[in-house]
Amino acid sequence: MRTATAFVCAALIAVSAAVHAATPAAAPNITLVDASGSSQRLSDLAGKVVLIDFWASWCIPCRTSFPAVDALQRELGPKGLVVIALNVDEHRKNADAFLAERPHVMRVAFDQTGQAAQAFSLQAMPSSVVIDRGGRFLYTHTGYTEKTVAQYRTEVLELLGEHQ
């Protein structure tokens, strides 16, 4: 399974797709567990624009996307954006090694069982979702390219009420 997933991850290095939901759907009320073991429900972030970036230590494009989405948190966090880097590694030590090499300010949560990834019906790594202040997910991204962060910025600014 990991080999197939790694292949999909590598294939997405050059491809990125953003999908706007035709009808906004309520985001699954997943539980986010941080490094200390504290948990928070996604619904606790109501009133904020949320970008959940699903990543794994073995995902090659994630090495580029991780610092880019962290920079977006630094830029737009004061305006109401919350970025959550949601790790899907089966073994926490792999995620911890990845994080030790990458200073960050965005929240990091862990999904070792894959329940959050399943709840959002993810098909590949990296993937991300953008959730509005009302808790509806409006955008889903699969893959990562240099243009992806610009797409995030445009979507987030729209949801924050600040058109570019």
Three-class SS string for 100-127?
Answer: HCCCCCCEEEECCCCHHHHHCCCCCCCE
- The answer to whether the beta carbons of residues 124 and 59 sit under 8 Å apart is no
pLDDT tens string 41-55: 999 999 999 999 999
Confidence tier at 112 by pLDDT (50, 70, 90): confident
Instruction: Give the torsion through C-alpha atoms of 56, 57, 62, 66, to 10 deg.
Output: 100
Question: How many percent of the chain have pLDDT more than 90?
Answer: 75
User: Can you give the pLDDT at residue 162?
Assistant: 67
Asked whether residue 111 carries a pLDDT value surpassing 50, the answer given is yes
Asked whether residue 24 carries a pLDDT value surpassing 90, the answer given is no
For residue 16, the SS3 value is strand
Which residue is associated with the tokens 């972030």? 45
Mean pLDDT of the chain: 86
Length in residues, the chain: 164
Confidence tier at 163 by pLDDT (50, 70, 90): low
User: Can you give the pLDDT at residue 124?
Assistant: 87
Residue 93: exposure state from Cβ atoms within 10 A (0-12, 13-18, ≥19) = exposed
CA distance 58 to 79: 32
Mean pLDDT value of segment 74-92: 96
Mean pLDDT value of segment 81-103: 96
Instruction: Give the torsion through C-alpha atoms of 72, 73, 77, 81, to 10 deg.
Output: 80
- The answer to whether the beta carbons of residues 77 and 107 sit under 8 Å apart is no
Domains parsed from the chain with CATH numbers: 2-160 (3.40.30.10)
CA distance 32 to 107: 10
For the full predicted model, state whether its pTM sits above 0.75: yes
**Higher pLDDT residue, 148 or 13?**
148
